[in-house]
A and B are shown apart, each in its own frame.
Chain A
Amino acid sequence: MAEKQFEPLIIGFTCNWCSYRAADLAGMSRAKYPPNIRLIRLMCSGRMDPEFALKALRSGADGVIITGCHPGECHYLEQNYKALRRYLLLRRTLKQFGIEPERVRLIWASAAEGARLAQELTKAVEEIRALGPLSWHNVVAADGDRPLELQHLEEVAA
């Protein structure tokens, strides 16, 4: 049997007016996408606090997707422009943390783009799958320290 493929876990943030409704529409039109994505509803992509993305990545997500209305179509007029700027600065910062830009993505989707959202989510899952697990708890546990360290402490204590 072939080895089981890696199933990435992705948290997606949606805005109440466009992308969440696009997800609704994807459902209504039975457009399929992989079950690797779990969505959170915000009122607007402007509510997207970079802390949310960091929290998701630390807590086991392999990727984060921020979605919102297309530029110029924000229900709150221009808040998605702020979301875009925050996203771009966050992505730069995360690059320094060794996190590939592909893991933190921004997708614009209007309420009418259910099928497109499903396609984009599918694409995101496949691309993040190809990057492999993020497993931030392993990153922080810093493999290799612990055994030596314990050995040393034990010997000092002895």
Chain B
Amino acid sequence: MSEERVGVYVCHCGSNIASVVNVEDVAVWAKEELADQGVVVARDYKFMCSSLGQELIQDDIKEHGLTRVVVAACSPHLHEKTFRTACNRAGLNPFLCEMVSVREQVSWVHTDKELATNKAKAMIAGGVERVVHHQPLEPLHVPINPATLVVGGGIAGIQAALEIADSGFPVYLVEREPTIGGHMAQFDKTFPTLDCAACILTPKMVDAGAHPNITLLTWSEVERVDGFVGNFTVTVRKKARYVREDVCTGCGICIEKCPVKVLDQNFEAGLGYRKAVYRPFPQAVPKYPVIDTENCTYFKRGKCKACQIFCPTQPNSIDFEQKDQFIQIQVGNIILATGYDLFDPRRIPQYGYGRLANVFTSLEFERLCNAAGPTNGDIVLRDGVTKPKSVGIIHCVGSRDRRYNNYCSGICCMQSLKFAHLVKERTGADVYNFYIDMRTAYKDYDEFYQKVLEEGVHFVRGRVAEVTDAARKPGEEGKLIIQVEDTFIGKQRRIPVDMVILSAALQPRADANEVAQKFGIACSTKGWFIEKHPKLDPVATMTEGIYVAGCAQGPKDIPSTVAQGAAAAARVLGRIQMQELALEPIRASVIEEKCSGCRICNDMCPFNAIIFHEDRMVTEINPALCQGCGTCVAACPSNAITGTQFSTEQIMAQIEGLLMFNVEGELIREMAYA
């Protein structure tokens, strides 16, 4: 017979639970049959999480002197905090409350009402048995280092860095390319207002580069992350630039004098050239160039040094001996804004990209119509001179396609409309958009669609089957023929055009999984970083102190990216202002008098929380480093390590409770031998 006084609360969740589980019966049963386990009150209520539901619990705690509470409702991931807080308000330690997920684990997944009700009862019995072994816990307080690391210098990272820096706190902005700016720096115009990307981005880049609170680490990558929220130690590899940042003035003479021309696959998307010593574009921040050792004549053959010879600075800025540097920085919070990769349309061979010269990717087209791009903004065919008379724009290339990515990349419709408008405006060509569904949600987007419609752009609803140069009919010779079913008229059509633009999908970075692992955050099987809650906590991650922003979390347009960057910064600023953070007290600890010093546990902790004292021959756990996984608890052959909130006693008791009766509801506990 338990000495605790337990209250059991069964939620109907409207009809979400009550339509499958006989909640009234469960409550009555709990009061009667779990009295020996300590249950003194059991109630069912329409919405336990409502303020009235919470008050019900609070009143009972006071009136009935409850010492433990079990709430059978939704997943603890949704409302554990709600009910813990309610308990706390009534003077009960929040950790003396246990949630049983009878919605996600019973009513939403089972159909047989009787069996579902049995299961709900068993789960409540498990919760009651468990909760009597709970201990009151107090949160652990850790100080927050006010510095922040932002990884990725695209618009999301820049926005986040500026927000934090403007508030007066130090930021390290790490970017693996030679310049910040990200994908947005490659774009020409931005939808729906058509302001030029460079005009709105470069001032921010300059701000970030010159900001006294921002330490810019470009051409750099994060190697290692140690520590925990408030106290991360991050090792950054600053790759050798071969250009001394302390003396280089960014005059660009080295670039001018470099004799090696390299096809720029990166920034110019393969349409333009750069030198072996280069900066991706003139407004790059920082202004210092980088030597590309793969193509530099000196690095390949040991001679040339034109850049060094012509460098006007004293001392010379070119340093061929430069080595990668490893820098350690201390930060309290980290924002990951690592962006996306573009889907490679070569994976869809029937669209001809890479085989048919005049099939372009969306990024190529951005460079093509960019005034600072390889053609100075002239929209021309691959030959560099011919203006297209007709252009086909294919949406959903690699998106909404079971063979590649099921998801909608979100930006392609608007991007394709923007392309259509630009082509029309600059060339007067006939433009055909091939789409599955037109998705123009958000402010001023649909208005832009209407405008493009009025401009006389053709829209064909249907997924393009093929782009081919094999002419079958007169008028098709020398053209790219787009074969498509026009689903509005229910007919196959062949539309000859001069140029095809593929609106390619946004994909997770190829190394997203590696990055997620490095920072200890969760990543979907695809490779998008997983936020703490898709709606209610969209920029935090499961790992305290690590936030995500921009396309690293999922495909999105510039306004949403900027919003997320700012949101992540706001979260971090909130944390910094707190100065100290209360961590969940789910921690392991060693009972020293039980520890034999066998050292089985010593290699169990990836967070280095386990320390062995040679002098006393016992092990100790650093509670601030412990993340509460319990692996050392389970490893200890002496049960000398205990884990709060997931102790062996709690789990064993829960197992017993869950096995009170079988699937059909017959008591089986009595059968068990002692």
Chain A residues engaging chain B, CB cutoff 8 angstroms: 7-9, 11, 17-18, 20-21, 23-24, 26-28, 30-36, 38-44, 46-49, 51-52, 55-56, 58-61, 70, 72-73, 75-79, 82-83, 86, 110-113, 118, 137, 140-141
A-B contact pairs, 12 of them (CB 8 A): A20-B77, A21-B77, A23-B104, A27-B109, A35-B116, A40-B126, A42-B630, A44-B629, A75-B520, A75-B542, A77-B520, A137-B671
Q: State the CA gap A28–B629 with chains docked (Å).
A: 26
Q: Indicate whether A55 sits within 8 Å of B123 (C-beta atoms), given known contacts A82-B635, A137-B673.
A: no
Q: Is B337 an interface residue (CB 8 A)?
A: no
Asked whether A32 lies within 8 Å of B111 as measured between CB atoms, the reply is yes
Q: Indicate whether A47 sits within 8 Å of B631 (C-beta atoms), given known contacts A11-B655, A11-B659.
A: yes
Asked whether B655 lies within 8 Å of A76 as measured between CB atoms, the reply is no
Q: State the CA gap A20–B522 with chains docked (Å).
A: 14
Asked whether A49 lies within 8 Å of B634 as measured between CB atoms, the reply is yes
Q: Is B628 an interface residue (CB 8 A)?
A: yes
Using Cβ atoms and an 8 Å threshold, which residues of chain A touch B112?
35
Q: State the CA gap A27–B16 with chains docked (Å).
A: 11
Asked whether A42 lies within 8 Å of B652 as measured between CB atoms, the reply is no
Q: What does the 1/0 interface line of B115-155 toward A look like (CB < 8 Å)? A: 11011001100100000000000000000000000000000
Q: State the CA gap A113–B119 with chains docked (Å).
A: 23
Q: Indicate whether A9 sits within 8 Å of B663 (C-beta atoms), given known contacts A35-B119, A38-B658.
A: yes
- A37 CB to closest chain B CB (Å) equals 8
Q: Is B622 an interface residue (CB 8 A)?
A: no
Stretch in contact with the other chain, from B280-288, B397-405, B523-531: B523-531
Asked whether A32 lies within 8 Å of B109 as measured between CB atoms, the reply is yes
Asked whether A27 lies within 8 Å of B629 as measured between CB atoms, the reply is no
Using Cβ atoms and an 8 Å threshold, which residues of chain B touch A31?
109
Asked whether A60 lies within 8 Å of B673 as measured between CB atoms, the reply is no
Asked whether B664 lies within 8 Å of A79 as measured between CB atoms, the reply is no
B interface residues, how many (CB within 8 angstroms): 60
- A111 CB to closest chain B CB (Å) equals 6
Asked whether A44 lies within 8 Å of B673 as measured between CB atoms, the reply is no
Asked whether A59 lies within 8 Å of B105 as measured between CB atoms, the reply is no
Asked whether B646 lies within 8 Å of A43 as measured between CB atoms, the reply is yes
3 smallest CB-CB distances across A and B, nearest first, come from: A27-B104, A46-B631, A47-B630
Determine which of B115, B606, B672 lies in contact with A35 in the assembled complex, contact meaning CB atoms within 8 Å: B115
Asked whether A24 lies within 8 Å of B75 as measured between CB atoms, the reply is yes
Using Cβ atoms and an 8 Å threshold, which residues of chain A touch B118?
35
Q: Indicate whether A32 sits within 8 Å of B110 (C-beta atoms), given known contacts A38-B119, A47-B646, A77-B606.
A: yes
Asked whether A52 lies within 8 Å of B651 as measured between CB atoms, the reply is yes
Minimum CB distance partner of B528 in chain A: A112
Minimum CB distance partner of B120 in chain A: A35
- A73 CB to closest chain B CB (Å) equals 7
Q: What does the 1/0 interface line of B588-632 toward A look like (CB < 8 Å)? A: 000000000000000010110000000000000000000111110
Q: State the CA gap A43–B631 with chains docked (Å).
A: 9
Q: State the CA gap A73–B517 with chains docked (Å).
A: 7
Q: Indicate whether A55 sits within 8 Å of B652 (C-beta atoms), given known contacts A26-B104, A42-B646, A48-B634.
A: yes
Using Cβ atoms and an 8 Å threshold, which residues of chain A touch B671?
60, 137
Q: Is B101 an interface residue (CB 8 A)?
A: yes
Asked whether B634 lies within 8 Å of A46 as measured between CB atoms, the reply is yes
| From A7, A60, A82, A110, residue with most partner B Cβ within 10 Å | A60
Q: Indicate whether A137 sits within 8 Å of B648 (C-beta atoms), given known contacts A35-B115, A48-B634, A59-B659.
A: no
Asked whether A7 lies within 8 Å of B664 as measured between CB atoms, the reply is yes
Task: Apart from A44-B631, A73-B522, list 17 A-B contacts with CB within 8 A.
Answer: A11-B658, A17-B522, A20-B77, A26-B109, A32-B109, A35-B106, A40-B126, A42-B630, A42-B651, A47-B633, A47-B634, A55-B655, A75-B629, A76-B520, A76-B627, A79-B604, A111-B524
Q: State the CA gap A89–B126 with chains docked (Å).
A: 28
Q: State the CA gap A70–B524 with chains docked (Å).
A: 11
Asked whether A60 lies within 8 Å of B672 as measured between CB atoms, the reply is yes
Asked whether B109 lies within 8 Å of A46 as measured between CB atoms, the reply is no
Asked whether B663 lies within 8 Å of A36 as measured between CB atoms, the reply is yes
- B32 CB to closest chain A CB (Å) equals 21
Q: Is B489 an interface residue (CB 8 A)?
A: no
- B133 CB to closest chain A CB (Å) equals 13
- A26 CB to closest chain B CB (Å) equals 6
Minimum CB distance partner of A8 in chain B: B663
- B586 CB to closest chain A CB (Å) equals 6
Q: What does the 1/0 interface line of B75-118 toward A look like (CB < 8 Å)? A: 11100000000000000000000000101111011111001101
Q: State the CA gap A39–B658 with chains docked (Å).
A: 9
Q: Is B656 an interface residue (CB 8 A)?
A: yes
Minimum CB distance partner of B513 in chain A: A72
Asked whether A24 lies within 8 Å of B673 as measured between CB atoms, the reply is no
Give the residues from 471 to 485 in chain B that come closer than 8 angstroms, CB to CB, to chain A: none
Q: State the CA gap A117–B586 with chains docked (Å).
A: 27
Q: State the CA gap A61–B122 with chains docked (Å).
A: 13
Using Cβ atoms and an 8 Å threshold, which residues of chain A touch B669?
59-60
Q: State the CA gap A38–B77 with chains docked (Å).
A: 18
Determine which of B586, B628, B659 lies in contact with A56 in the assembled complex, contact meaning CB atoms within 8 Å: B659
Using Cβ atoms and an 8 Å threshold, which residues of chain B touch A55?
652, 655-656
Asked whether B77 lies within 8 Å of A59 as measured between CB atoms, the reply is no
Q: Is B50 an interface residue (CB 8 A)?
A: no
